[in-house]
Structure 1
Amino acid sequence: MVFKRLLGSLGVGGPTVDTVLAAGAAVPGGSLSGQVHLVGGTDDFVIESITLELVARVEAEHEDGESHNAVAFERFVVGGGFRLPAGAEHSVPFTVTLPWETPVTELYGQGLGIVLGVRTELSVAGAKDKGDLDPLVVGPLPVQEAILEAFGQLGFGFRSADLEYGRIAGSGQQLPFYQEIELSPSPQYAHTVNEIEVTFLATPGEMEVILEADKRGGLLSEGHDAVTRFTVSQSGVHHQDWNALVDDWMRQLVGHRAAYGAHAAHGQDHGHYEDHHHHDSGHHSGPGMGTVVAAGAAGIAVGVVGGMVAAEVVDEIGDFFEGDDEEEGGEDEG
């Protein structure tokens, strides 16, 4: 829990709401559980509905520069239709399923700087109020963790992560934004690229991995962006040689000579991606995930990941999402 407020639209004496999420990080496509605790006000109230809204701090590019907005990307009605007597306490348990494209906010317990929140909205006597806001912590799926760890073991470093408003053309993207994880190049590629951006688009069975390289210019050529995409299975993670696979991806990426544009902004589709599909058959040999995780000190996760610690995330959530109604965009579902 972060904030517990009086139901502002009803003024002093209204019920209070306090949402408590289950401990630990959720994962994309996984369950998010918790309880909504209500305490009645000075009068009886009919709680018409209790809605949980997932919100994200998203960057949007404009002609005049960049801006950050709170984007709602999923809504769940988890209760309602009951009378809350004055001063009475009532709890509503819930379990909801996160979208598969929910951004990852931490890796091995270290924050990436991504700000997500769960906002609780009460509908009482025809009035609505966003009465409670909690930080949402999301860890990586096994295949995301394996790919990022492989980058780390190959010598790449974490630089930053953000959420970009827009859609990637030719993909099955569902959310109005996508996550970019920016990596510094390994020594092998430092003379060729300035940075690598990794985007994951997950579905129940597969993971689309989009790689973009900011390639350096030479004496006779200008720098440009090169983009490739690959698709791997969500299963068979323990049997894949991820280091070899990611190294192969990088060789294909830096071998591109054509120039590509940047990712889409303002919700516009981006149509410059090449399609390179590499399906994981699950029959490759290599280190198991236990070995990969144990070797984290050599990878991206340990000692390299930056971002905000938990307390700073709480402050960021509150400062950004409180009073953001006019800036909010996204999809109203449910």
Structure 2
Amino acid sequence: MSTVSIVKHAGDMPSEIRQALELAGLLQGLNNKSVIIKVNACTPRCVPGQVTAPAFLKATIEVLRGYTSEITVCESDQQRNSAWTALEGSGLKTAAVEAGAKVINLSEARRIAVKVPNPFHFPTLEFPEPLLNSDILLDMCAMKTHKLTSVSLGLKNLFGCIPAYDRVLMHRHIDALLPDVASVLKPAISLLDGIVGMEGDGPIAGIPKRMNLILCSDSVVALDYVASQIMGFDPRRIRHIANAMKVLPIEPLSIHGSPVEEVKAKFRPAAYDLISKLEREAQRTAFLARFVYLNPTIFKMVRWTGWKMRDLTGYTKQYRKDLQLSGENVDIYDII
């Protein structure tokens, strides 16, 4: 049986996070356990909906410290930024330290090869030792759309648990990879920061969308199933979620707190203009992914060219207007 809790955010974040954990039946198992929190720090900026909110992380740690003092926050290097750059620039490192947690870069840890139980595609995968040695993995994800995977929720956040700098090359296998990652790591707690999500051209260049929601589950697959429904998507048509359900079944599913229909708000899917199509194609081809994404000079040139082309089509003008309408005080240069 899988349990998902849905709590509306009204102001008292620590109490609401505690309620979400309690409704999901996850508070009792925290006593004196070591907890490692995998945040979503995909950029060195604190743009609403783009990364885990520092205030959300801090409030969660404050709740956890009532049960355990052994709390670690982690992220891994990306092709454009080190984990330290992203954690410091986004404010997540400061939030974690102020709340009394340790912060580590998974890319600096020793990796251990692990056999995947009931593999969907990959028989073995390598993971950083701290993830495997902690009593509880807490998957703290954002609520975003994504160019390649339709949504970026709990399962997609686990992609960052593979600390290879060139993991962008694995994007072409992403729908088969994520179920196997989840099968090994099996987060005991999946906690979604849905206070401000991101719609449109996510996971980075989208539009902030205020949802005022906190979701929590004992199953990362169940969390993604319910969250994608809230966002207006059919999870059975999202490949990585459908694949994960085959190896990590979620039925019977119990939902506590606010009903899905009461909190549903349709998210605009990722853009399908020429630039987005080319980006998808580049990430699905190993040679192009290596050439574009692992060469900083080439990547900057391609990104600059892409946005100049979007200027000509009117996309950028509409994007600026949408950012203003979001009410989150975000400028286009905060994002791109």
**TM bucket normalised to smaller:** under 0.3
* Higher-helix-fraction structure: 2
**TM superposition score normalised by structure 2:** 0.27
* Higher-strand-fraction structure: 1
**TM superposition score normalised by structure 1:** 0.27
Larger radius of gyration between Structure 1 and Structure 2: 1
